[in-house]
Structure formats: C-alpha cells, structure tokens
Amino acid sequence: MQCIDLNCDLGEGGAHDAEFIPLISSANIACGGHAGDEATMRATIRLALAHGAAIGAHPGYEDREHMGRRPMNLSPDAIGDLVSRQLKRFAQIAEELGAPIHHVKAHGALYNQADTDPLIANAIANAIRDLLPQVIVYAPPNGCMMDAAQSAGLRFRAEGFIDRRYNADGSLVLRGQAGAVIDDPAAACAQALEMLLEHKVTSMGGFAVPIEIDTLCVHGDSDSALEILKSTRLALESAGLQVCH
C-alpha cells in the first residue's frame, strides 16, 4: 500500500487543531513568527505527540498583521537570522518535551519567495542545516528550495496543495485572485487524487501540469479545512493509499 503524508498548518490560533490532528500524519507548527508563541508551540507539540503526528517547524515572516503572507524585501542574512531565531526557540521547546523534529516547512510568502529566489532558498536551507541537519525540508517540487535543500545535504519532500489552485507553470495561484483557494471538499479530494494517481494537476486555465509529490497540505485556517481533511482522508484510504509520515 502506497504511503502518503498528509500535513496541516497548526498552532496558528485556530479553533480546530484538536480536530485536525487525528486526520493528519504531519503537523507544521507555527514558530512565533507569523503566528503562535511559546504556549501554542508547547500545546501543539503535545497534541501531535498524543496522536503520533510527525512534528514540523513552520517558520515565517514576522508579520502578524498579514499572517506572513505578504512578500517582504529582506536580505538573505536577515532571512537566515529570522529562520534561525524561530527554529532555535522551537527546538528548545521540542527538546524539553522530548519531541523529535521531523521536518521544516517555510510559511506563506517566505515559502513562495524561496521557491523562485535561490538566495532566499539558500539562506533558509543553510539555517536549517546549521541547527537541524537531520530534518526533512517540505517545499514545492523542482524549485529553488528543493535545489537549496539538496545542495545543503538535507532530505527533501515535495509538497502539493489540496486546497489551492495552480497556474500552468506549476506555481500556486496568488491568494488575491478569484478561485485561488479551494473551499469545496469534493474539488479538493479530486485534486488530491489527481496529483497522487495521475501525477498531474489541472491548472486554473485547464492545462494538465505534471507533478510528483510526497506530501499533501491542507491549510488549517480556512472555514472548510476540517471538512476537506475528513473527505480527503476518506478518499485517500478508499483509493488504497495509507496516510503516514
């Protein structure tokens, strides 16, 4: 049975983390940058431990007003510093709780900019390598972050999104554009199965875009996230796919 990792962004102040966690295999936990604080990190790590979910650090731009989703013009050194700062705090809490860190995934605009900017990607990869060389980096397939992770000697897992639409070049449709976010659980399930079983995703314009992924993400802050996770988990298992990290 093929194993597929199902991940979700948690510890961001949402009301449904306890309902999400039994449905996923990996948790991306906010590190106090775009969202969260030491209390939410502790609570979410404990929740993940209780349900056997892999624990991941989710650093992002320190821009809470826009939840880290606004692109910022920072130097690679500044980006490396902010990622290191957040990872150090997260790692200290995880160690206190006896929780191994499984992966690191950049958040929001930092994630998107790292996919196309090698300087940003290298800054993130080097910060991860210096602090947590054992972890897996979650990022889009075939982008700068993948190249940077592999160059830094880090393991890599290619990520696809269940609840976001894609452009014909394989990039995500910007959130401000109509239709960028998938709210319908049936449509999200269809996209998940298309990526896994057909190794492609249908773009906003109707083009078939080749894609090879190892992990699927659902954003935890949407109104439909819980129903999307429930439906997707059922659809994956019905298709003979095992959810595991």
* Sign of the alpha-carbon dihedral angle for 184, 28, 243, 43: negative
- Give the chain's mean pLDDT: 93
Q: What 3-state DSSP class applies to 42?
A: helix
What local confidence, expressed as pLDDT, does residue 51 receive? Answer: 95
Report the percent of the chain where pLDDT is more than 90.
79
Q: Give pLDDT tens digits for 97-140.
A: 999 999 999 998 999 999 999 999 999 999 999 999 999 999 99
| 220-223 contacts, C-beta under 8 A, 24 or more apart | 220/8, 220/9, 220/10, 220/12, 220/14, 220/16, 220/17, 220/20, 221/9, 221/12, 221/14, 221/67, 222/163, 222/181, 222/183, 223/183
Rounded Cα distance between 92 and 87, Å, is 8
Q: Give pLDDT tens digits for 174-186.
A: 888 888 999 999 9
Q: Lowest mean pLDDT: which of 11-25, 80-94, 142-156?
A: 11-25
Report the percent of the chain where pLDDT is more than 70.
99
Q: Is the pLDDT of residue 187 over 80?
A: yes
Q: Is the pLDDT of residue 1 over 70?
A: no
What local confidence, expressed as pLDDT, does residue 174 receive? Answer: 85
Fold exhibited by the domain 2-243 = TIM Barrel (3.20.20)
Domain boundaries, the chain: 2-243
Q: Give pLDDT tens digits for 58-100.
A: 999 998 788 768 899 999 999 999 999 999 999 999 999 999 9
Q: pLDDT-based confidence at 149, cuts 50/70/90?
A: very high
Q: Is the pLDDT of residue 15 over 80?
A: no
Report the chain's terminal Cα–Cα distance, integer Å.
13
The model's pTM: 0.93
* Residue 128: alpha-carbon gap to chain centroid: 15
